Structures are given as C-alpha cells and as structure tokens.
Structure 1
Amino acid sequence: MASRQVHLVRHGEVYNPDHVLYGRLPEFHLSQLGRRMAQAAADELTSRERPVAALIASPLIRAQESAAPHAALFKLDLRTDPRIIEPSNHFEGKVMAKAVKNPVNWPWLINPARPSWGEPYRSIVARVTAAMTDAFALPRLTEDEPGDVIMVSHQLPIWVTHLSLSGERLMHDPRQRRCDLSSITTFEQNAAGVIHEVGYSDPAAALLPGAIDVGAV
C-alpha cells in the first residue's frame, strides 16, 4: 500500500522593490520571476507522477498565487489553512538593515532563542505540525492510493518544522536556512504517527540568481 506524502512548498519570489520585511502584510504579490518559480515547483511535483488528494495554502496572497499552478496541473480546488501562515513579526513594514541600527528596536532583538521579535518558534512548530497531522488524515483517493497533500507555506514555518522533526535546536541563523524560494520539503508519517522528512528539492534553483527578494528574515 502506498504511503501518503505531505509536501511543504515555499512560495516564489515576492515583488518587494523597497526590501521591507513584509511578514503578514497584505498585497505583497509574486513578482514575474516568482510566478515562474511557482510553476517550476508545480512542474516538479507533476513529474513525480504521484496522485495528489489535496492542495492547501497559507491565506497570504503570495502563497495563494504560488498554489495556483498546482491547482491547474492537478485539477484541485485550493483550501486555505491559517495554521501554515507566516509568523507575526515586530519589524513588519521595516527595512531590517536600518531597523537593527536604531536603539529603539534593540529590546526586540534581545532574545533570539524565542525569538523576542515575533511568534515563538515552538508555537510555529505546533501549529504547522498540527496542520500536517490533519493533512495525513485526509480521506484517501482509493484504498490502495491515499494521494499526496501539497501545502504552500513560507520559509520560516517550513524551516523550523524541519528543525523540530529532525531533533535540532530551533534557534538558527536565517542566512543558513535550507529552504529556497519554491523549494519542496517532503514528509511521510510512519505507523506510529511520527512524521519524518524524506526529501528536499529545489526546482527553481536555476532562477534563484535572478531573484532580488529572497525573503530570508
């Protein structure tokens, strides 16, 4: 009997000419390059020739737009799950390179282990893993084929979930995250209900050199 896989897909490049930390701010759409990245991720999952039972995305517009090529290729309706949204962040709307130099903001940077500037890492992990657990429990396509679930989310939720499920510490350097734009991190669940990572791919790698906004914050 086939095993269901859950694919956490990061959104494509965002149009962000002012280089602000957009976080949960509305109306940050994909750039034209970001749309090509999203298509690359959808093409990659299609090439695996695995049936897909459901498509779920964060409510933010960049995730919804990144899910659109998957919806078209797999002929699926898009569901929205707020549990896989970007974390809240005190610095939303600010340019980080400038904000960190302002003493007014320093108290928000005092505890990178939590982190002090936004939603605690453990809270992010809890809601994302709960959403994944529900995804693994979705109705099967057939008795012999459960069908995979695609979940379009954001870099930090995907990365800290990876760290947690790998038994690694959650505090990290954002510049060292292995979670590129439109990357795919794949998970399975064993008979005991334990979720474990089984793969990572970077279908938009050839497009990354042209990206202006990589979104690592």
Structure 2
Amino acid sequence: MHNPARVLYGRLPDYHLSASGRAMARAAAEHVAGLGRPIAQLRCSPLERTQESAAPFAELTGLAPVLEERIIEPTNVFEGRRMSRALRNPLNWWYLRRPSVPSWGEPYRSVAERMLAAMGDCADAATGTDAGDIVLVSHQAPIWITHLAVAGLPLRHDPRSRRCALSSVTTFERVGDAWHEIDYAEPAASGIDLGAV
C-alpha cells in the first residue's frame, strides 16, 4: 500500500496499491488459480485498493469483479491519523474505553454479521451450473473477525496480533448452515503494511 504518511487509512478514498502491493495481489491470485478449482464469483470491497487487488483474479479467471459493500473495512475514528501519535494524546483515550466492542469504531459483532451474510448470499447463488468457489477480496480486520466468529472465539482481540498477512488467502467452507475455516496461506508472505490496523 502506498502510504508515505503511515496513517490508518480505513475507508478513506484514494489509497492505492504500491508496485509491491500489486505483485503481492498477483501472487495471491496465482495461488488461488493454482489450486485448480473452478471460480464461480469474484467480489471485492468498493475501496480502490481492493478493486486493484481483485484485478489479477479477474485477469486469471475471466470474471468481472462485483462490488460488495458488506465486505468493506470497518469504520474507525482514527482514520487519517498516525496511530503512534494518536494513542499518545489523552484526548483520544476515551475511544479506547471499551475494546470489547470496540469503542473506536464499528462493533465486531456487526462486522462478523455482515461478512457472514455476504458469504452466505454468495454461496446460495453459487449452485447448479454456477457452482464453484467464490473469491471475496476484503480487508484484514473483517477477515480476521470472520475467522474468530467461525471458530467460536471471542471477537475482542488486539489488532496487532491478527494472523492475516497482506494478500493472504483464508478459505472458508459452508457445510449445511455452518461455516468452517479450512485453510490459510500466505503466498506473498514478505509484505509489510504501513497503514492497516
């Protein structure tokens, strides 16, 4: 991600992939294509950086990415700020009063519910002649929160401890009405993100 000011960009517009970020997105797309499984749908968050990350998937699958609002980054009051500075300011400490919610942005439960709803709707649509895997290009926080929800773990967590590297691939499978995480891969494991939290 091109982020010379090293701010938390969240849902802010005009944050684009760097050359390294484009290469990492390509590695993720090649990893998924290399699995040899049919891809039925390609959806991405409406933010520019996820649309750019979806581009190599579109190229390799021939599918046009469909924008999916429900898989967007959570809201965050610290957007546009450098976290190391923002957290030193006592005026911002109020936002940290309830980390279990979290009090600085969209509740974890809301993120999990919208992500699982989007996944369920996509899975419902991928039947019959349209059956196949679904690629959702989302963001670190919603993916990690979905992982926690599917695993039945508490949604409260320290954002610095997320196992969700740049351009990583987390794979979920629905069996009946239940989702299960079946794989996690880091095809572009050397990436460094200068803005995501």
TM-score range, shorter chain: over 0.9
* CA positional deviation for 1:141: 5.8
TM-score (norm 1): 0.88
Q: Which residue of 2 aligns with 1:17?
A: 4
3-state DSSP of counterpart to 1:28:
coil
Q: CA deviation at 1:139?
A: 3.7
Instruction: Establish whether residue 114 from structure 1 lines up as the match of residue 95 from structure 2.
Output: no
Higher relative contact order (CA 8 A, sep 6+): 1
The corresponding residue for 1:4 is none
Residue identity matched to 1:186: T
SS at match of 2:194: coil
Distance 2:140 2:50 in 1: 11
Structure 1 residue 213, shift from structure 2 partner: 1.8
| Residue of structure 2 aligned with 1:90, choices 64, 68, 77 | 77
Deviation by residue 1:20-52 (Cα, 9 ceiling, x = unmatched):
010000000001100000000000001000010
Alpha-carbon separation, structure 2, partners of 1:138 and 1:24 = 28
Aligned to 2:152: 167
Instruction: Give the % identical residues.
Output: 52
C-alpha contact 1:58 1:83 (8 A) present in aligned 2: yes
Per-residue CA distance 1:66-98 (angstroms, 9 max, x = gap): 000000000001100100000000001100100
How many Å apart are 1:138 and its aligned residue? 1.3
Q: Is the 8 A contact 2:3 2:195 kept in 1?
A: no
Distance 1:116 1:23 in 2: 16
- One-letter amino acid of the counterpart of residue 105, structure 2: G
**Aligned mates of 2:13, 2:140 — CA distance in 1:** 17
Q: Which of 86, 94, 111 pairs up with 1:124?
A: 111
2:181 is aligned with 1:200: no
Q: Which residue of structure 1 aligns with residue 13 of structure 2?
A: 26
Tell me the amino acid that sits aligned with residue 181 of structure 2. Answer: E
CA RMSD of aligned residues (A): 1.2
CA distance in 1, matches of 2:91, 2:160: 24
Q: List structure 1 runs of 4+ shifted beyond 3 angstroms.
A: none
**Kept in 2: contact 1:181–1:214 (CA 8 A):** no
Where structure 2 has 5 or more consecutive residues not aligned to the other structure, the ranges are none
SS of equivalent to 1:137: helix
What residue number does 2:194 align with? Answer: 213
Contact 2:8 2:195 in 1 (8 A): no
